[in-house]
Structure 1
Amino acid sequence: MIQLALLRHGHTDWNRAGRIQGRTDIPLDDDAHAQLAGQCLPAPWDSADLVSSPLARAVQTAELVAGRPPQTTPALMEMDWGKWEGLRGVDLKADPSSGFRDIEYWGWDYTPTGGESPADLRARLIPWANALTRDTVAVCHIGVMRVLLGHAMGWNFKGDPPFQIKRNRLYLIQIDPTGWQTSPDQIRLENRV
Protein backbone atom coordinates (compact mmCIF):
# COMPACT_ATOMS: atom_id res chain seq x y z
CA MET A 1 0.00 0.00 0.00
CA ILE A 2 1.23 3.48 -0.93
CA GLN A 3 0.18 6.58 0.96
CA LEU A 4 -0.34 9.80 -0.96
CA ALA A 5 -0.46 13.03 1.06
CA LEU A 6 -2.05 15.97 -0.75
CA LEU A 7 -1.18 19.57 0.16
CA ARG A 8 -2.83 22.60 -1.42
CA HIS A 9 -0.54 25.44 -2.45
CA GLY A 10 -0.49 28.68 -0.46
CA HIS A 11 -2.52 31.80 -1.26
CA THR A 12 -1.93 34.00 -4.27
CA ASP A 13 -3.21 37.48 -5.05
CA TRP A 14 -5.76 35.87 -7.39
CA ASN A 15 -7.02 33.53 -4.64
CA ARG A 16 -7.63 36.46 -2.36
CA ALA A 17 -9.44 38.35 -5.14
CA GLY A 18 -11.66 35.33 -5.92
CA ARG A 19 -10.25 34.99 -9.43
CA ILE A 20 -10.11 31.60 -11.15
CA GLN A 21 -6.46 30.67 -11.70
CA GLY A 22 -6.55 27.30 -13.39
CA ARG A 23 -3.37 26.98 -15.42
CA THR A 24 -2.45 30.66 -15.20
CA ASP A 25 0.95 30.68 -13.48
CA ILE A 26 0.43 32.98 -10.50
CA PRO A 27 3.09 32.92 -7.73
CA LEU A 28 2.46 32.90 -3.99
CA ASP A 29 1.71 36.29 -2.47
CA ASP A 30 4.04 37.78 0.15
CA ASP A 31 1.85 36.76 3.11
CA ALA A 32 1.68 33.14 1.98
CA HIS A 33 5.43 33.07 1.37
CA ALA A 34 6.13 34.38 4.89
CA GLN A 35 3.64 31.98 6.52
CA LEU A 36 4.90 28.90 4.67
CA ALA A 37 8.53 29.78 5.38
CA GLY A 38 7.68 29.23 9.07
CA GLN A 39 6.12 25.81 8.51
CA CYS A 40 7.41 22.36 7.59
CA LEU A 41 6.25 18.86 6.78
CA PRO A 42 5.89 16.65 9.87
CA ALA A 43 7.68 13.31 10.15
CA PRO A 44 7.56 10.90 8.37
CA TRP A 45 6.31 13.07 5.51
CA ASP A 46 9.46 15.19 5.60
CA SER A 47 11.38 12.24 4.08
CA ALA A 48 8.71 11.04 1.65
CA ASP A 49 9.00 11.59 -2.10
CA LEU A 50 8.06 15.18 -2.97
CA VAL A 51 6.27 16.11 -6.18
CA SER A 52 4.34 19.15 -7.28
CA SER A 53 2.50 20.74 -10.11
CA PRO A 54 4.92 22.69 -12.32
CA LEU A 55 3.01 25.92 -11.60
CA ALA A 56 5.00 28.41 -9.49
CA ARG A 57 2.53 28.54 -6.59
CA ALA A 58 2.84 24.77 -6.03
CA VAL A 59 6.62 24.59 -6.55
CA GLN A 60 7.17 27.49 -4.14
CA THR A 61 4.93 25.91 -1.51
CA ALA A 62 6.76 22.58 -1.79
CA GLU A 63 10.19 24.19 -1.52
CA LEU A 64 9.19 26.27 1.50
CA VAL A 65 7.61 23.47 3.56
CA ALA A 66 10.05 20.71 2.57
CA GLY A 67 13.29 22.69 2.34
CA ARG A 68 14.10 21.02 -0.98
CA PRO A 69 12.92 21.29 -4.57
CA PRO A 70 10.15 18.95 -5.68
CA GLN A 71 10.03 16.85 -8.79
CA THR A 72 7.36 18.34 -11.01
CA THR A 73 4.81 16.55 -13.14
CA PRO A 74 2.22 17.90 -15.56
CA ALA A 75 -0.21 15.30 -14.17
CA LEU A 76 -0.67 17.58 -11.14
CA MET A 77 -1.51 20.72 -13.16
CA GLU A 78 -4.70 22.44 -12.11
CA MET A 79 -7.89 22.01 -14.11
CA ASP A 80 -7.94 24.13 -17.26
CA TRP A 81 -10.73 26.67 -16.80
CA GLY A 82 -10.52 27.85 -20.41
CA LYS A 83 -12.12 31.24 -21.07
CA TRP A 84 -13.01 31.62 -17.40
CA GLU A 85 -9.42 31.88 -16.15
CA GLY A 86 -8.78 35.26 -14.56
CA LEU A 87 -12.49 35.89 -14.04
CA ARG A 88 -14.28 35.83 -10.70
CA GLY A 89 -16.62 32.96 -9.92
CA VAL A 90 -19.18 35.30 -8.31
CA ASP A 91 -19.37 37.35 -11.51
CA LEU A 92 -19.76 34.24 -13.67
CA LYS A 93 -22.44 32.88 -11.35
CA ALA A 94 -24.35 36.17 -11.58
CA ASP A 95 -24.45 35.84 -15.39
CA PRO A 96 -26.92 33.06 -16.31
CA SER A 97 -25.52 32.90 -19.85
CA SER A 98 -22.01 31.98 -18.62
CA GLY A 99 -22.84 28.34 -17.88
CA PHE A 100 -21.03 28.57 -14.52
CA ARG A 101 -22.42 26.47 -11.68
CA ASP A 102 -21.47 25.41 -8.17
CA ILE A 103 -19.40 22.26 -7.69
CA GLU A 104 -22.25 20.21 -6.24
CA TYR A 105 -24.00 20.47 -9.62
CA TRP A 106 -21.05 19.53 -11.84
CA GLY A 107 -20.96 15.79 -12.31
CA TRP A 108 -17.78 14.31 -13.77
CA ASP A 109 -18.40 15.75 -17.25
CA TYR A 110 -18.97 19.44 -16.42
CA THR A 111 -16.63 21.45 -18.64
CA PRO A 112 -15.92 25.19 -18.45
CA THR A 113 -15.99 26.94 -21.82
CA GLY A 114 -12.78 25.93 -23.60
CA GLY A 115 -11.53 24.09 -20.51
CA GLU A 116 -11.31 20.64 -18.99
CA SER A 117 -13.77 18.52 -16.99
CA PRO A 118 -13.17 16.65 -13.71
CA ALA A 119 -13.30 13.45 -15.82
CA ASP A 120 -10.42 14.82 -17.94
CA LEU A 121 -8.42 15.48 -14.76
CA ARG A 122 -9.22 12.00 -13.46
CA ALA A 123 -7.96 10.46 -16.73
CA ARG A 124 -4.50 11.93 -16.14
CA LEU A 125 -4.37 11.72 -12.33
CA ILE A 126 -5.39 8.12 -11.63
CA PRO A 127 -2.66 6.50 -13.79
CA TRP A 128 -0.08 8.83 -12.22
CA ALA A 129 -1.18 7.97 -8.66
CA ASN A 130 -1.42 4.23 -9.35
CA ALA A 131 2.20 4.29 -10.63
CA LEU A 132 3.63 5.67 -7.34
CA THR A 133 6.13 3.32 -5.72
CA ARG A 134 6.80 5.15 -2.44
CA ASP A 135 4.85 7.26 0.03
CA THR A 136 4.58 10.68 -1.60
CA VAL A 137 3.66 14.27 -0.76
CA ALA A 138 2.00 15.99 -3.72
CA VAL A 139 1.73 19.78 -3.59
CA CYS A 140 -1.05 20.70 -5.96
CA HIS A 141 -4.31 22.55 -6.50
CA ILE A 142 -7.85 22.36 -5.12
CA GLY A 143 -9.25 20.95 -8.37
CA VAL A 144 -6.67 18.16 -8.39
CA MET A 145 -7.39 17.41 -4.74
CA ARG A 146 -11.15 17.33 -5.34
CA VAL A 147 -10.75 14.82 -8.15
CA LEU A 148 -8.38 12.52 -6.22
CA LEU A 149 -10.42 12.68 -2.99
CA GLY A 150 -13.68 12.32 -4.92
CA HIS A 151 -12.34 9.24 -6.70
CA ALA A 152 -11.18 7.72 -3.40
CA MET A 153 -14.48 8.44 -1.61
CA GLY A 154 -16.83 7.59 -4.46
CA TRP A 155 -18.11 11.18 -4.75
CA ASN A 156 -19.27 11.98 -8.28
CA PHE A 157 -19.34 15.79 -8.14
CA LYS A 158 -23.06 15.73 -7.39
CA GLY A 159 -24.34 16.96 -4.04
CA ASP A 160 -22.25 18.41 -1.25
CA PRO A 161 -18.61 17.27 -1.25
CA PRO A 162 -17.85 14.81 1.59
CA PHE A 163 -14.72 16.82 2.46
CA GLN A 164 -13.58 20.39 2.94
CA ILE A 165 -10.13 21.32 1.67
CA LYS A 166 -8.14 23.68 3.86
CA ARG A 167 -4.62 24.95 3.43
CA ASN A 168 -1.59 23.89 5.48
CA ARG A 169 -2.94 20.35 5.96
CA LEU A 170 -2.10 17.01 4.45
CA TYR A 171 -5.01 14.90 3.16
CA LEU A 172 -4.14 11.21 3.01
CA ILE A 173 -5.15 8.63 0.44
CA GLN A 174 -4.13 4.97 0.73
CA ILE A 175 -3.58 3.54 -2.74
CA ASP A 176 -3.89 -0.21 -2.97
CA PRO A 177 -4.47 -2.48 -5.98
CA THR A 178 -7.77 -3.49 -4.38
CA GLY A 179 -8.96 0.13 -4.11
CA TRP A 180 -8.37 3.55 -2.65
CA GLN A 181 -9.31 4.79 0.81
CA THR A 182 -9.02 8.13 2.54
CA SER A 183 -8.00 8.81 6.09
CA PRO A 184 -10.49 10.86 8.13
CA ASP A 185 -7.56 12.63 9.80
CA GLN A 186 -5.84 15.64 8.34
CA ILE A 187 -2.25 16.28 9.35
CA ARG A 188 -1.29 19.89 10.01
CA LEU A 189 2.01 21.32 8.89
CA GLU A 190 4.33 21.96 11.85
CA ASN A 191 5.91 25.23 12.88
CA ARG A 192 9.63 25.45 12.21
CA VAL A 193 11.77 25.52 15.30
Structure 2
Amino acid sequence: MTRLALLRHGHTAWNRAGQIQGRSDIPLDDEARRDLSQFSLPPEWADAELWSSPLHRARETAEIVARRTPLTAPELTEMNWGDWEGKRGIDLLAQPDSGFRHIEHWGWDYRAPGGESPRELWARLEPWVRARTADTVAVCHIGIMRVILAKAHGWDFDGEAPFKIKRNRLFVVDLETFEPQAEPVRLIREDAA
Protein backbone atom coordinates (compact mmCIF):
# COMPACT_ATOMS: atom_id res chain seq x y z
CA MET A 1 0.00 0.00 0.00
CA THR A 2 1.31 3.44 -0.98
CA ARG A 3 -0.03 6.32 1.08
CA LEU A 4 -0.19 10.09 0.78
CA ALA A 5 -0.34 12.06 4.04
CA LEU A 6 -1.47 15.67 3.77
CA LEU A 7 -0.45 18.25 6.38
CA ARG A 8 -1.69 21.84 6.47
CA HIS A 9 0.89 24.58 6.98
CA GLY A 10 1.03 26.57 10.22
CA HIS A 11 -0.72 29.88 10.86
CA THR A 12 0.14 33.16 9.18
CA ALA A 13 -0.92 36.70 10.01
CA TRP A 14 -3.43 36.47 7.14
CA ASN A 15 -4.94 33.23 8.54
CA ARG A 16 -5.44 34.91 11.89
CA ALA A 17 -7.06 37.95 10.23
CA GLY A 18 -9.38 35.77 8.11
CA GLN A 19 -7.79 36.92 4.85
CA ILE A 20 -7.78 34.69 1.77
CA GLN A 21 -4.17 33.81 0.95
CA GLY A 22 -4.31 31.67 -2.16
CA ARG A 23 -1.04 32.02 -4.06
CA SER A 24 0.11 35.04 -2.05
CA ASP A 25 3.39 34.00 -0.44
CA ILE A 26 2.62 34.91 3.16
CA PRO A 27 5.14 33.49 5.70
CA LEU A 28 4.41 31.73 8.98
CA ASP A 29 4.09 34.06 11.94
CA ASP A 30 6.36 33.75 14.99
CA GLU A 31 3.68 32.08 17.08
CA ALA A 32 3.24 29.38 14.43
CA ARG A 33 6.98 28.75 14.34
CA ARG A 34 7.06 28.33 18.14
CA ASP A 35 4.03 26.05 18.07
CA LEU A 36 5.31 23.90 15.20
CA SER A 37 8.72 23.48 16.84
CA GLN A 38 6.98 21.39 19.52
CA PHE A 39 5.85 18.80 16.95
CA SER A 40 7.40 16.15 14.74
CA LEU A 41 6.23 13.55 12.27
CA PRO A 42 5.09 10.24 13.79
CA PRO A 43 7.80 7.53 13.54
CA GLU A 44 6.00 5.65 10.75
CA TRP A 45 6.16 8.81 8.60
CA ALA A 46 9.64 10.06 9.57
CA ASP A 47 11.33 8.47 6.54
CA ALA A 48 8.57 9.04 4.00
CA GLU A 49 9.22 11.20 0.96
CA LEU A 50 8.75 14.82 2.02
CA TRP A 51 7.20 17.31 -0.37
CA SER A 52 5.72 20.75 0.06
CA SER A 53 4.21 23.61 -1.82
CA PRO A 54 6.90 26.08 -2.90
CA LEU A 55 5.18 28.81 -0.85
CA HIS A 56 7.17 29.77 2.27
CA ARG A 57 4.48 28.92 4.81
CA ALA A 58 4.29 25.29 3.62
CA ARG A 59 8.00 24.81 3.02
CA GLU A 60 8.92 26.17 6.44
CA THR A 61 6.25 24.03 8.15
CA ALA A 62 7.76 20.95 6.48
CA GLU A 63 11.29 21.89 7.58
CA ILE A 64 10.20 22.46 11.19
CA VAL A 65 8.14 19.30 11.74
CA ALA A 66 10.28 16.92 9.65
CA ARG A 67 13.68 18.41 10.58
CA ARG A 68 14.75 18.24 6.92
CA THR A 69 14.31 20.13 3.66
CA PRO A 70 11.36 19.07 1.51
CA LEU A 71 11.22 18.66 -2.23
CA THR A 72 8.84 21.23 -3.69
CA ALA A 73 6.18 20.82 -6.35
CA PRO A 74 4.40 23.74 -8.02
CA GLU A 75 1.32 21.50 -8.28
CA LEU A 76 0.98 21.79 -4.47
CA THR A 77 0.69 25.60 -4.61
CA GLU A 78 -2.58 26.76 -3.10
CA MET A 79 -5.71 27.28 -5.18
CA ASN A 80 -5.66 30.56 -7.07
CA TRP A 81 -8.20 32.90 -5.44
CA GLY A 82 -7.74 35.62 -8.07
CA ASP A 83 -9.34 38.96 -7.19
CA TRP A 84 -10.28 37.74 -3.71
CA GLU A 85 -6.73 37.18 -2.44
CA GLY A 86 -6.02 39.41 0.54
CA LYS A 87 -9.72 40.00 1.18
CA ARG A 88 -11.67 38.57 4.11
CA GLY A 89 -14.32 35.97 3.40
CA ILE A 90 -16.63 37.50 5.98
CA ASP A 91 -16.49 40.84 4.16
CA LEU A 92 -17.15 39.22 0.78
CA LEU A 93 -20.14 37.32 2.23
CA ALA A 94 -21.58 40.64 3.41
CA GLN A 95 -21.54 41.90 -0.20
CA PRO A 96 -24.48 40.17 -1.94
CA ASP A 97 -23.08 40.80 -5.43
CA SER A 98 -19.56 39.50 -4.66
CA GLY A 99 -20.36 35.91 -5.67
CA PHE A 100 -18.52 34.58 -2.61
CA ARG A 101 -20.19 31.63 -0.90
CA HIS A 102 -19.58 28.95 1.69
CA ILE A 103 -17.77 25.78 0.60
CA GLU A 104 -20.94 23.67 1.06
CA HIS A 105 -22.38 25.47 -1.97
CA TRP A 106 -19.40 25.45 -4.32
CA GLY A 107 -19.69 22.48 -6.61
CA TRP A 108 -16.63 21.54 -8.67
CA ASP A 109 -16.83 24.60 -10.98
CA TYR A 110 -17.02 27.44 -8.45
CA ARG A 111 -14.24 30.02 -8.79
CA ALA A 112 -13.22 33.46 -7.66
CA PRO A 113 -13.00 36.14 -10.38
CA GLY A 114 -9.66 35.50 -12.07
CA GLY A 115 -9.18 32.39 -9.92
CA GLU A 116 -9.24 28.61 -10.20
CA SER A 117 -12.08 26.13 -9.64
CA PRO A 118 -11.76 22.89 -7.62
CA ARG A 119 -12.05 20.97 -10.92
CA GLU A 120 -9.16 22.96 -12.44
CA LEU A 121 -7.14 22.48 -9.27
CA TRP A 122 -7.68 18.69 -9.41
CA ALA A 123 -6.55 18.67 -13.06
CA ARG A 124 -3.33 20.36 -11.90
CA LEU A 125 -2.89 18.06 -8.88
CA GLU A 126 -3.87 14.64 -10.21
CA PRO A 127 -0.74 13.88 -12.27
CA TRP A 128 1.48 14.70 -9.27
CA VAL A 129 -0.68 12.60 -6.91
CA ARG A 130 -0.77 9.63 -9.32
CA ALA A 131 3.04 9.77 -9.76
CA ARG A 132 3.71 8.95 -6.07
CA THR A 133 5.32 5.51 -5.77
CA ALA A 134 6.33 5.64 -2.09
CA ASP A 135 4.71 6.82 1.13
CA THR A 136 4.71 10.60 0.91
CA VAL A 137 4.05 13.49 3.28
CA ALA A 138 2.87 16.60 1.44
CA VAL A 139 2.83 19.85 3.43
CA CYS A 140 0.41 22.08 1.64
CA HIS A 141 -2.70 24.24 1.90
CA ILE A 142 -6.32 23.78 2.87
CA GLY A 143 -7.52 24.15 -0.74
CA ILE A 144 -5.17 21.39 -1.93
CA MET A 145 -6.27 19.17 0.94
CA ARG A 146 -9.97 19.84 0.32
CA VAL A 147 -9.74 18.82 -3.33
CA ILE A 148 -7.76 15.62 -2.69
CA LEU A 149 -9.96 14.65 0.26
CA ALA A 150 -13.12 15.50 -1.71
CA LYS A 151 -12.01 13.02 -4.39
CA ALA A 152 -11.13 10.39 -1.77
CA HIS A 153 -14.45 10.81 0.08
CA GLY A 154 -16.58 11.17 -3.06
CA TRP A 155 -17.75 14.63 -1.94
CA ASP A 156 -18.88 17.13 -4.60
CA PHE A 157 -18.56 20.40 -2.63
CA ASP A 158 -22.32 20.16 -2.10
CA GLY A 159 -23.55 19.98 1.48
CA GLU A 160 -21.47 19.46 4.59
CA ALA A 161 -17.95 18.09 4.03
CA PRO A 162 -17.35 14.55 5.36
CA PHE A 163 -14.06 15.72 6.89
CA LYS A 164 -12.78 18.63 8.99
CA ILE A 165 -9.24 19.78 8.28
CA LYS A 166 -7.32 20.60 11.43
CA ARG A 167 -3.71 21.57 11.87
CA ASN A 168 -0.97 19.29 13.25
CA ARG A 169 -2.62 16.20 11.76
CA LEU A 170 -1.83 14.01 8.78
CA PHE A 171 -4.83 13.24 6.57
CA VAL A 172 -3.96 9.97 4.87
CA VAL A 173 -5.18 8.59 1.53
CA ASP A 174 -4.38 5.08 0.25
CA LEU A 175 -3.16 5.79 -3.28
CA GLU A 176 -3.98 2.29 -4.57
CA THR A 177 -7.68 2.42 -3.64
CA PHE A 178 -7.88 6.22 -3.28
CA GLU A 179 -9.76 5.75 -0.04
CA PRO A 180 -9.20 7.99 2.98
CA GLN A 181 -8.00 6.68 6.30
CA ALA A 182 -10.88 6.96 8.79
CA GLU A 183 -9.07 9.21 11.27
CA PRO A 184 -6.20 11.68 10.82
CA VAL A 185 -2.84 10.89 12.47
CA ARG A 186 -1.69 13.41 15.03
CA LEU A 187 1.81 14.82 14.89
CA ILE A 188 3.97 13.86 17.88
CA ARG A 189 4.18 16.55 20.54
CA GLU A 190 7.82 16.63 21.63
CA ASP A 191 7.13 17.41 25.28
CA ALA A 192 4.77 14.40 25.43
CA ALA A 193 7.15 11.93 23.77
TM-score range, shorter chain: over 0.9
Deviation sequence 1:117-168 (CA, Å, 0-9, x none)? 0001100111111110100000000000000000011101111100000000
2: distance between equivalents of 1:137 and 1:6?
Answer: 6
What 5-or-longer segments of structure 1 have no aligned partner?
Answer: none
More strand by share: 1
Query: Are residue 65 (structure 1) and residue 93 (structure 2) matched?
Result: no
- 1:52-131 correspondence runs (5 A): 52-131=52-131
Aligned positions, number = 191
In the TM superposition, residue 44 of structure 1 has moved relative to its aligned partner by 1.2
Determine the structure 2 residue equivalent to 1:135.
135
Determine the structure 2 residue equivalent to 1:6.
6
In the TM superposition, residue 192 of structure 1 has moved relative to its aligned partner by 2.3
Task: Provide the secondary structure at the position in 2 that maps to 1:160.
Answer: coil
2: distance between equivalents of 1:126 and 1:104?
Answer: 22
Letter in 2 for 1:190: I
Determine the structure 2 residue equivalent to 1:166.
166
Determine the structure 2 residue equivalent to 1:185.
183
In the TM superposition, residue 86 of structure 1 has moved relative to its aligned partner by 0.1
2: distance between equivalents of 1:44 and 1:164?
Answer: 23
2: distance between equivalents of 1:114 and 1:151?
Answer: 24
Task: Provide the secondary structure at the position in 2 that maps to 1:173.
Answer: strand
Deviation sequence 1:34-67 (CA, Å, 0-9, x none)? 0111110011101100000000000000000000
State percent identity of aligned pairs.
Answer: 59
2: distance between equivalents of 1:186 and 1:122?
Answer: 21
- Backbone CA RMSD of aligned residues: 0.7
What TM-score do the two structures reach when normalised by structure 1? 0.97
2: distance between equivalents of 1:120 and 1:2?
Answer: 25
2: distance between equivalents of 1:186 and 1:81?
Answer: 27
Q: Moved runs in structure 1, 4+ residues, more than 6 A?
A: none
What TM-score do the two structures reach when normalised by structure 2? 0.97
In the TM superposition, residue 114 of structure 1 has moved relative to its aligned partner by 0.5
